[in-house]
Amino acid sequence: MQVFKNKRDNLLIIDQKKKKTLDISQIIMLRGFVNYTCFYLQNGKQSVSARTLKHYEGLLNDKGFIRIHRGFLVNQKCILKHNVATSQLILVEGHEAEISRRRKNEYLKGLENLS
């Protein structure tokens, strides 16, 4: 099982023995489940890949994605709101992701670099 990255900001994943090309700008967040990663897309669809979240973190780190939790990798462009009291991010399409205590500083540095 392989994942390829090409020059047009697309990501080729293998989802249930089928190859799928995902536009990186359409990815809201990635959520890891043990050795699987679920992609949440802006069109409301989801895709599952049999690769770890760490693998995709290496591919998407320079594309505006930031690891905010052991199980979440989010697209910084899709963040709508940060609830400081509960340490949660509100993303487009109504998705929510929790920021871990240990990655909170990394998240704040990432926001500084974005602005």
Q: What is the pLDDT of residues 38-82, one digit of tens each?
A: 999 999 999 999 999 999 999 998 898 999 999 999 999 999 998
Residue 62 DSSP one-character state: G
Picking from 89, 30, 81, the residue whose alpha carbon sits closest to that of residue 56 is 30
* Domain parsing of the chain, residue ranges: 4-114
* HSE-up of residue 107 (Cα within 13 Å, Cβ side): 23
pLDDT of residue 5: 52
Label residue 74 left, alpha or beta by phi (over 0 means left) and psi (-120 to 50 means alpha). Answer: beta
Bridge partners of residue 53, in order along the sequence: none
pLDDT of 104 reads: 87
* 72-113 pLDDT tens trace: 999 999 999 988 889 899 999 999 999 999 988 888 877 776
CA–CA distance, 94 with 92 (Å, rounded to integer): 5
8 confidence band (pLDDT: 50, 70, 90): low
Q: Determine the pLDDT at residue 84.
A: 85
The domain made up of 4-114 is a member of CATH 2.40.50.1020: yes
